[in-house]
Chain A
Amino acid sequence: MSDVSQDNGNGRGKLFGGDFDIKRILLEGRAFFALIAIIVIFSLLSPVYFSTSNFLTMSSHVAIFGLLSLGMLLVILTGGIDLSVGSTLGLAGVFAGFLMQGVSFEILGVVFYPPVWVVVILTCGLGALVGAINGVLIAYFKVPAFVATLGLLYVARGVALLMTDGLTYNNLGGGPELGNTGFDWLGFNRLFGIPVGVLILAAVAIACILLLARTPFGRWVYSTGGNARAAELSGVPVKRVQVLVYVLSGICAAIAGLVLSSQLTSAGPTAGTTYELTAIAGVVIGGAALTGGRGNVRGTLLGAFVIGFLSDGLVIIGVSSYWQTVFTGAVIILAVLLNSIQYSGRKKQKASSDGETTSPQPDSATERSPASGSTAGKAGTQS
């Protein structure tokens, strides 16, 4: 009975009828085309924009947002949100700075200077801890993700301020005699002419691609976000998946914190304020659905580059920072608008088409040419 209307929602048709090709490519590749458009426009407006050195500089800015966005992507794919990443980034930077200054054990009367690799591991561990708190609150104590991570946003920022009394660690260089040099290498140095921060972003991105596409965990992430109830009944450990994505997001934020404080060679407790919003924007511009289940690494990276290249471009052509804020906001709204066109287009299509017939599915993994309409016609007679 009620299934009649329910099944009504199953059929999906072509998104835009016959001419869906071009519109679809523009819509699905919107982040890519937006990036091209940004590069072209700013290259025309400023002679310095289109140069390798500028691209590398901009990319090292993007690295920070990119790292946050990748972690955020994992969380958003499960249908959650992580507002604490900006604060976690700041806390991680301060924590790393604190370790670089040396940890004094008063009882033993010694000051211990951990080597940089230990600093990196401990800082990532701190990020994981913040993420684990988020995840446990959300998965096991059923605190809404928005609220839990909002709380951690404040707590992490507060702890960072407490640790430094509001001041900034300026000397992160370490000393050869202390055996803890090399911190600046993370963000400041270049490898093969490419900023290390960008390489780290690339490495994390590849890890995320593998994680999402090739591991059981990746499949669990998508299924949890797509339909947690169905995933659970299929044996997916939904709660563990939820905890783990927040842990990974926390680690990404910690890495971003390390890269940023290395780039700046200083660690301030207010670093990364509101970066969580930029990270969410990157994911959204990349085409992920905030409801979960849809999105990918490629889109998210493009989204991060769109935001980074846009704001740096505005700086280069000398637009006031107030206007930059306005532009960034407009781009985000535009992206979300296109998202909702893409997804509501599907829904509308669902509603108007029927349950028992099939028609070519625009977002399925197989790309179809209009010529494949005949197969669709055949499929339509199945029941």
Chain B
Amino acid sequence: MNEHATSQEGALGKVILSARNIAKSFGNVHALKAVNFDVHYGQVTTLFGENGAGKSTLMKILSGVMQPSSGEIVLEGEPVRFSSTTEAQRQGISIIHQELSLAPNLSVRDNVFMGREIVGKGGVDYAEEARQTRQLMEELDEPIDPLTPVEDLRLGQQQIVEIARALSVNSRILIMDEPTSALSASEVEVLFRVIRDLKSRGVSLVYISHHLEEALTITDHAVVLRDGRMTAYAARQEIDLEWIVRNMVGENFDLGSPPTGYAMGDAVLSIEGVTVADASVPGRAVVDNVSLSVRSGEIVCIYGLMGAGRTELLESVAGRGDMDAGRVLLHGEDISRLSIAERIEKGLVLVPEDRQRDGLVQTMSVGENLSLASIGAFTKGLLTSREREHGVVRESISNVHIKTDGAAASIGSLSGGNQQKVVIGKMMATHPRVVLLDEPSRGIDIGAKAEVFRLLSEGAAQQGLAVVFSTSEVGECLSIAHRVVVMSRGRIAAEFGADANKEEIMAASGEAVVA
């Protein structure tokens, strides 16, 4: 824990809210370990940190979504405890989540007053609500008609509606979790103008962003979290991008190095001009004319921020979702029209990003999950062979080192890292030639991460697997990958060898956003 600013230059910059030794544990997992954190009056404090560093947990505690395991929150000198978001809101603290919480079918007015409708003599006083909404929107310099349905607004405008809603409950402290991740450059500018305006009105902001440079343009204070600890704190004028990256990533935990000592084969997977249109914004492409070729035995890392198009690219290659242009070749054969099952059959598999939503069947056991993609391998005639299934499952459990009570254990009984290994093991059991992994390290601890990377590295070196994995943690790019491809706004922005450095990778991924 570093130098703690007790800057008290008048009202502006005075500490309005502070977290003292906040810790939060989920069983054995310590998401936050004694974090101290200050919010300054009329200023922006930005939280930096990689995925899993504890940013969201801290924000959830400050806004009453969760309660800390220990430590206290001090609001204007008084210790407070929020048992719900409503209570936090009553004290003037509002949070705007990354996924907006507006009802798209309702109007701006109805959204602003949702749950707090102004009731007059003859029911809801819509006229008064509309008047207040119009006033709020004008104050924010975004004169949207209060009766416009929210679904007709652009995402940036919707965000401003959320801000208006927070202001309408007289929020003094506004927490924004990744507010710019889905915005266009011009929308970001509008948002930043609104933020500056809010500051001048004495609203304090807490800001979370993965776009480091962008955040630096708006913030007054920077706090860096790593592995649930606050590793650094400084005022804006004292820091630069390099300082943030250094504190975010910390000393390198060894995630391995690119496997060597063997000859890579020919290109196994060739992606040619793949384009996926954005379903919500006509004319925009989430994946824009991406071409990439991966050789047998090669490990390629796709680095990019949220919304860069990594997931959409990998999913379209694997056969989930339609491509609007381009084709995918596996061993020179066009597989663009094949189903997911047929692509698996041909040797191309995807380990999805969200293992809860896309990777695991929670109602099934560890063994049943492991064998789900390779049922054909133990089916004789019409019936499956229990014995051979046990063989497949046992082999998978030992191949990917899953710690489990046995194949019959429920999938929920495993740790996040072991669940991830089940998803990987399931796809590996199909004996693929190309493995796509979308953020394989998401939400798993460092030890499990290293193990997953070791598996991939061995697969490439010993079986000649072509491996493509995506990540949003720059430290992971520089581990086992032979090649780092940086995606930004749906395009390949840059390509580096294994000798790249963190700064240039991060710069390549975020540049396009900073106007």
Complexed CA–CA distance, A289 and B56 (Å): 33
Contact string against B for A residues 358-383, beta-carbon threshold 8 Å, 1 for contact and 0 otherwise = 11110111100000000110011111
Residue of A nearest to B439 (CB): A3
Stretch at the interface among B101-109, B110-118, B271-279, B378-386: B378-386
Q: Are B55 and A226 in contact (CB under 8 A)?
A: no
Distance from A76 Cβ to chain B, minimum over Cβ atoms (Å):
13
Q: Are B364 and A223 in contact (CB under 8 A)?
A: yes
Which residues from chain A contact B52 at a C-beta distance below 8 Å?
Answer: 1, 3-4
Residue of A nearest to B371 (CB): A219
Q: Say yes or no: is A222 at the interface (Cβ < 8 Å to chain B).
A: yes
Q: Are A231 and B28 in contact (CB under 8 A)?
A: no
Q: Are B445 and A383 in contact (CB under 8 A)?
A: yes
Looking at the complex, which one of A4, A9, A234 makes contact with B29 (CB distance below 8 Å)?
A4
Which residues from chain B contact A234 at a C-beta distance below 8 Å?
Answer: 344, 372-373, 426-427
Q: A337-362: which have CB < 8 Å to B?
A: 350, 353-361
Which residues from chain B contact A379 at a C-beta distance below 8 Å?
Answer: 403-405, 413
Q: Say yes or no: is B448 at the interface (Cβ < 8 Å to chain A).
A: yes
Q: A233-B358, A350-B412 are in contact. Are A10 and B419 (CB under 8 A)?
A: yes
Q: Are A293 and B361 in contact (CB under 8 A)?
A: yes
Query: Chain A contact residues: over half helix, strand or loop, or mixed?
Result: loop
Distance from A313 Cβ to chain B, minimum over Cβ atoms (Å):
34
Q: Are B413 and A358 in contact (CB under 8 A)?
A: yes
Complexed CA–CA distance, A234 and B60 (Å): 34
Q: Are A11 and B55 in contact (CB under 8 A)?
A: no
Residue of A nearest to B208 (CB): A1
Which residues from chain B contact A365 at a C-beta distance below 8 Å?
Answer: 365, 408
Complexed CA–CA distance, A5 and B410 (Å): 19
Q: Are B358 and A229 in contact (CB under 8 A)?
A: yes
Looking at the complex, which one of B28, B359, B363, B404 makes contact with A225 (CB distance below 8 Å)?
B363
Q: A11-B412, A11-B413, A219-B372 are in contact. Are A364 and B365 (CB under 8 A)?
A: yes
Q: Are A1 and B365 in contact (CB under 8 A)?
A: no
Q: Are A356 and B51 in contact (CB under 8 A)?
A: no
Contact string against B for A residues 1-37, beta-carbon threshold 8 Å, 1 for contact and 0 otherwise = 1111111111110000000000000000000000000
Q: Say yes or no: is A298 at the interface (Cβ < 8 Å to chain B).
A: no
Q: B45-61: which have CB < 8 Å to A?
A: 51-57, 60
Distance from B449 Cβ to chain A, minimum over Cβ atoms (Å):
12
Stretch at the interface among B11-19, B294-302, B349-357: B349-357
Residue of A nearest to B51 (CB): A1
Count, A-B residue pairs, CB within 8 A: 192
Looking at the complex, which one of A215, A220, A358, A366 makes contact with B415 (CB distance below 8 Å)?
A358
Which residues from chain B contact A219 at a C-beta distance below 8 Å?
Answer: 368, 371-372, 375, 384
Which residues from chain B contact A3 at a C-beta distance below 8 Å?
Answer: 51-52, 416, 442-443
Q: Say yes or no: is A57 at the interface (Cβ < 8 Å to chain B).
A: no
Q: Are B372 and A231 in contact (CB under 8 A)?
A: yes
Contact string against B for A residues 299-335, beta-carbon threshold 8 Å, 1 for contact and 0 otherwise = 0000000000000000000000000000000000000
Distance from B418 Cβ to chain A, minimum over Cβ atoms (Å):
7
Q: Are B26 and A364 in contact (CB under 8 A)?
A: no
Which residues from chain B contact A382 at a C-beta distance below 8 Å?
Answer: 403, 415, 418
Q: Are A356 and B28 in contact (CB under 8 A)?
A: yes
Q: A257-307: which have CB < 8 Å to B?
A: 289, 292-294
Q: Are B384 and A4 in contact (CB under 8 A)?
A: no
Looking at the complex, which one of B53, B357, B372, B415 makes contact with A229 (CB distance below 8 Å)?
B357
Distance from A78 Cβ to chain B, minimum over Cβ atoms (Å):
12
Residue of B nearest to A352 (CB): B27
Distance from A60 Cβ to chain B, minimum over Cβ atoms (Å):
30
Q: B308-327: which have CB < 8 Å to A?
A: 318, 320
Residues of A within 8 A of B (CB): 1-12, 210, 214-216, 219-220, 222-223, 225-227, 229-237, 289, 292-294, 350, 353-361, 363-366, 375-376, 379-383
In order of increasing CB-CB distance, the 4 nearest A-B pairs are A354-B27, A3-B443, A293-B363, A226-B361
